[in-house]
Structure 1
Amino acid sequence: MSLPSGSPDPLLSFGARIGAYRNVAWLLLACGAGLAWLVGFGLRSPYLGLSVAVLLMSACMLGASVILFRRASTPMYRWVSAEYIYRFDAADLRRQTQTIKIRIRANRDNVNLFHNTYRWTGVGTSTVRVANGSQRICETREKISGRRHYYVHLDQPLSKGEETLIHLEQELFDASGEFEPILAKIVSSPLAKLTLKVVFPSDQAPRAIVARRSRPSRKRAESWRTIGAGGHDVDWSDNGATTEACYSPDSPKVGIRYDLRWDNWGKYPSSQDGR
């Protein structure tokens, strides 16, 4: 699973940017034409008054171009914090749930749609629902990559500077027993706090979990190169019934993947168990 930038619908966002860039291009073209006329003819004394008007108009168009460009390149909202809690059912480890809490802050007015993606390594059923409020949610899946998109329509549109908490509950059943023992999130936009937590039944917890930081590999596409790993960054707790492993990196960096990995987890059932 991964943590993307949290942008709204990519098609709508892309279309809006194309329109804004087209407007910027026309304004810059008009501004350039005005400056060219000014250099070629406007500096002559009979055209001095008109030259001043052209210069002012060009300055206004240049300012409008900068404003449009900044607006088009600024996402509708930014992530403030993200928390992922992944749990395994004691009766059947293939039954898993994930609690997702993402706080966002609007960069513009009238923000009413939240978009996120994830990829689950298990093979079976996966559903996402909103746990707070009455927000509506829909989910789609890419056929080739298997990455899934979900969209949350907020109860009330956010004004610039306002924040809201997206609270989701995800239910998963790995019917084929192919889940890979890793909880990974990619930071694609500035984020103040990231928390990854895995909760196991105490009698089925792995012996060790490693927290890792990775960056994209330059040699191979869709692969990651580890830049830091160790068990000292993992906080453990046990209440007798469940064992929790938590990783909250200091100052998460954009472009870095953070994950919890537990290898050689022999207690996880495979599809050959016939359960």
Structure 2
Amino acid sequence: MSLPSGSPDPLLSFGARIGAYRNVAWLLLACGAGLAWLVGFGLRSPYLGLSVAVLLVSACMLGASVILFRRASTPMYRWVSAEYIYRFDAADLRRQTQTIKIRIRANRDNVNLFHNTYRWTGVGTSTVRVANGSQRICETREKISGRRHYYVHLDQPLSKGEETLIHLEQELFDASGEFEPILAKIVSSPLAKLTLKVVFPSDQAPRAIVARRSRPSRKRAESWRTIGAGGHDVDWSDNGATTEACYSPDSPKVGIRYDLRWDNWGKYPSSQDGR
């Protein structure tokens, strides 16, 4: 299973949001102190003028802090579209590649970093490289969950409203044959277009493949509840050499997982055969 999950706000903005929260807290405290002064002492001359001045200054500072808070809370960029194409090698199905194309639009000036995560259920090697321009990539991995993070440094910083395409190529080798037959995407921010595509060798294509939509389960953590089967939404094509299954849901919704899943097919090695 390949399970990408978009992260529209890089971790570098976390400190800015914490600072904004702290500023708002201090200014609310200042406004409360000013109000207490006004109620307790300010209504008595000669403290009225001083208290009104304190409240006016606090209100102005609070307004400025709210503006700062809203700016810090705005993601640095938004996703416009995402396309994932997963391919299996005809000579060895354990050799797999994934083409990832993500278009983003800057919400602020000087956006120069893209962050994303994914989880792969295969056991073996996985490498990600940038396929366009001279963009640089750095990848890290969480020890407990196994989820991987990668950061792409853009060629040129984006100004507000500008767009760019992140084009990645991923090479994977499932040495133990444990890959789960699912290609999934969790939509974590507004997305105009999503495309999931799986490409099989024609003579080794599965008998059936379905599209599903799921939402997080309220009863069990880390689990998903199907909200509708979408097998009729899968577009099939075959050119004699490869068979493609494509799923492009209408108006992807935030918080929903979209996936293509298929039955295990006979020529893919089992976990026992791969060890």
Bigger mean CA offset, 49-58 vs 146-155 = 49-58
Query: How many Å apart are 1:36 and its aligned residue?
Result: 2.5
Larger deviation, residues 262-271 vs 234-243: 262-271
Tell me the SS of whatever aligns to 1:62: helix
Report the Cα distance in structure 2 between the residues aligned to 1:9 and 1:107, rounded to whole angstroms: 10
Equivalent-residue separation in structure 1 for 2:93 and 2:129 (angstroms): 21
Partner of 1:112: 112
Cα deviation for residue 127 of structure 1 reads 0.3
Q: How many residues get paired?
A: 275
Q: CA RMSD, aligned part only?
A: 2.0
Q: Is the 8 A contact 1:88 1:94 kept in 2?
A: yes
* C-alpha separation in 2, matches of 1:3 and 1:264: 18
TM-score, length-scaled by structure 2: 0.93
When residues 223 and 199 of structure 1 are mapped into structure 2, their CA distance, relative to the original with a 3 A threshold, is same
Moved more, 53-62 or 84-93: 53-62
Residue 82 of structure 1 deviates from its aligned partner by 0.5
| Aligned position for 2:229 | 229
| SS of alignment partner, residue 7 of structure 2 | coil
Structure 1, residues 173-195: CA drift from partner, whole Å, max 9, x if none? 11111111100110011111111
1:239 to partner: Cα distance: 1.0
Q: Distance in 2 between matches of 1:48 and 1:196?
A: 66
Deviations 1:179-235 (A, max 9, x none): 111001100111111110001111111111110000111111111111111320100
Give distance in 2, aligned partners of 1:6 and 1:72: 19
Distance in 2 of aligned mates of 1:2 and 1:210: 16
| In 2: Cα distance, 1:46 partner to 1:131 partner | 71
Asked if 1:55 corresponds to 2:55, the answer is: yes
CA distance in 1 between counterparts of 2:112 and 2:2 reads 23
Residues 71-104 of structure 1 show CA distances to partners (whole Å, capped at 9, x for unaligned) of 2322211111110000111111111100001111
The CA deviation string for residues 2-46 of structure 1, in whole angstroms up to 9 with x for no partner, is 766644786533333222211221122122222322333334454
Counterparts in 2 of 1:64 and 1:8: CA distance versus 1, 3 Å: same
CA distance in 2 between partners of 1:226 and 1:8 (Å): 25
Q: Which residue is equivalent to 2:71?
A: 71
Q: Is the 8 A contact 1:4 1:189 kept in 2?
A: no
Q: Give 5+ residue unaligned stretches, structure 2.
A: none
Aligned residue for 2:232, secondary structure, equals coil
User: Contact 1:100/1:168 (CA < 8 Å) preserved in 2?
Assistant: yes
Following the alignment from structure 1 to structure 2, what is the Cα–Cα distance between the partners of residues 20 and 191?
A: 27
Q: Do the aligned partners of residues 18 and 4 (structure 1) sit closer, same or farther apart at CA in structure 2, a change above 3 Å counting?
A: farther
Q: Please, which moves more after superposition, 182-191 or 29-38?
A: 29-38
- Determine if contact 1:130/1:136 at 8 Å carries over to the other structure: yes
Q: TM-score, normalised to structure 1's length?
A: 0.93
Alignment-derived partner of residue 151 in structure 2: 151
- Secondary structure of 2:143's counterpart equals coil
Shift of 1:238: 1.0
Is this contact kept in 1: 2:5–2:117, CA < 8 A? no
